[in-house]
Structure 1
């Protein structure tokens, strides 16, 4: 059934949203590598339009380098670096920003076209508007994050980095969910409330763990206490409680401890959820997918331990961040399928009343 010319299902719209989600996933990985290479403060200005072009001649490169030399990170961390070394970190940050602009174009242009053609299901139009607005806000938050490291710090504030990462992951999950809605059409059935609540709690817990990981990254807490399962030989390392509430954001020992403990709880809950789901067998395939989510949680936890004990090498750090996004994707798909009681999403056509 159509309403006012709008479709209730559009797989072309779904594919567009899934492509955008894949690009956001790549952006999250690029952002992680940008952070691990210490490149995020190499561009000290925010020019949404003109900033798309890199320095085009030696004079422009020299100007960009001089601006970088004026911030604390250069004086306290990278003093004496060569132009070639500066260009190395500059290109990572420039690619990060350019890819963000590209995502905006890939989302905005087809959105307008689909809107004019009335291909976007009516119930999803407002969600797409919200995703577009969130993407624009993400650019502003990115600069808000970078600006925190240009005057008094040698890196960005952990809480701002976490907000930036959290919004990126929220957009990622939103694109996946909306894409699934566009692919499958209107909702026709729901699973029991207990099962649905469990899937929602699992997704929320995964998202919280991603935020705690952002604090670990922002505080560079993965480079300290690299023994496991203990932390410097003890269960709970010393915490500078003199920082007050800021200790939960900035203290390296505490943010790493919180990330570890929440990870243990998340793996335990995800495993229990999968076992209970298999026992209930509410819908064919849903119990099996719950084990996929639980398996991904175990693999991500193992990867986190390996990354930690090797003091976060670039490739492991990037892989761990990618793994977090994958777990979030699976938890999002799991909740969507549970709410719809539709495990065979891509194997069947649209349901009809």
Structure 2
């Protein structure tokens, strides 16, 4: 990821340095707010999935959809549309308008939050660009983020539409994972940009063997966190968390029976429930071990400096919390609150890892 970000001061030359610093702080604070809102979107997305709310809105209206039903007749129309899909007939047959309104508001809030996030990105972007606080390169990058965010809404509808098919009560797992991956990819890009705006010049860290080893372990940890999140998406999409609700064994076995019942073998990773849950457990454990090794190595390497070491220590605590949340969610058979917190904390864990990696980007740089 590039962190070559410069700023065009909007005042005279004598005040250029202070103006640049002031611009960096304002722009980075704005981007951090967007990151916070994206974590909120991830949390709301998890809640709508766990409560079965995602299919309650049958219309995709990117602009006018911001207005909820304002009359009883409109509520009845929305409810009548929902009654036509399999989820209502199979899972919710007979629940009244009040029950529909409960799941409707969850999905509407998710979509409304997404629209507000887009506005919080676009309007200040226009202001900073007009006042000359941004270079063309940074303005173009941020505009690209806005476009990608808008496309994420389309990906979300592509996911939701898969739940309208005959005999379907939920969205397709592959589309769910695609939607989740796009959200996290956009989040990482904006977070890295915000960190680079706040601290454009990395602190030099000598490239000693322990430092290089720690950075490599951290890169492995970041990759493992992302892969584990993807595996968690398939666990959620296939409802694999609602079976084998024991830990560490699965139905009395370390490796569940019927792990490889599908052919070709790779299909088990995406469609076979026992394999999907086991893979998520295995990846989570491997991630925790790699982060533990990274933290131990980093704390024993004084050349890293206080900033990176503090981030690594926080990463160690964050992964312990996430692991405990995962086990708790499993043992409680995935209540909505636990599943939502588990998904949200995954974003927090990834945030801490990205911050640690950003603080170590000066390794070997003069």
Work out whether the TM-score is over 0.5: yes
Counterpart residue number, 1:231 = 250
Counterpart residue number, 1:241 = 261
Pairing partner for 1:202 from 199, 217, 221 = 221
Pairing partner for 2:96 from 57, 72, 82 = 82
Pairing partner for 1:65 from 79, 86, 89 = 79
Give ranges in structure 2 of 5+ residues lacking alignment. Answer: 11-19
Q: Which moved more, 1:103-112 or 1:241-250?
A: 241-250
Return the offset for 1:211: 1.2
Counterpart residue number, 2:274 = 253
Change (3 A) 1:324 1:141: same
Q: Is the 8 A contact 1:199 1:338 kept in 2?
A: no
**CA deviation string 1:46-70 (max 9, x = no partner):** 1101111111212111111111111
C-alpha separation between the residues in 2 aligned to 1:300 and 1:188?
30
Counterpart residue number, 2:300 = 279
Give ranges in structure 1 of 5+ residues lacking alignment. Answer: 342-352
Change (3 A) 1:258 1:114: same
Q: Tell me if 1:159 matches 2:174.
A: yes
C-alpha separation between the residues in 1 aligned to 2:183 and 2:107?
16
What is the TM-score normalised by the length of structure 1?
0.91
Change (3 A) 1:243 1:78: farther
Counterpart residue number, 1:94 = 108
Pairing partner for 2:35 from 21, 34, 41 = 21
**CA deviation string 1:105-161 (max 9, x = no partner):** 000111111112221356533432332222112111100110111113210111111
C-alpha separation between the residues in 2 aligned to 1:3 and 1:143?
37
Return the offset for 1:241: 3.0
Where do 1:1-353 residues align within 5 Å? 7=20, 10-120=24-134, 124-152=138-166, 153-187=168-202, 189=204, 192=207, 193-237=212-256, 238-239=258-259, 241-242=261-262, 244=264, 245-285=266-306, 286-340=308-362
**CA deviation string 1:291-323 (max 9, x = no partner):** 221221122111110110011112111111111
**CA deviation string 1:65-108 (max 9, x = no partner):** 11111111111111111111011101100111111001000001
CA RMSD of aligned residues (A): 2.1
Change (3 A) 1:55 1:217: same
Q: Number of aligned pairs?
A: 342
Return the offset for 1:37: 0.7
What is the TM-score normalised by the length of structure 2?
0.88
Return the offset for 1:239: 3.8
C-alpha separation between the residues in 2 aligned to 1:212 and 1:26?
21
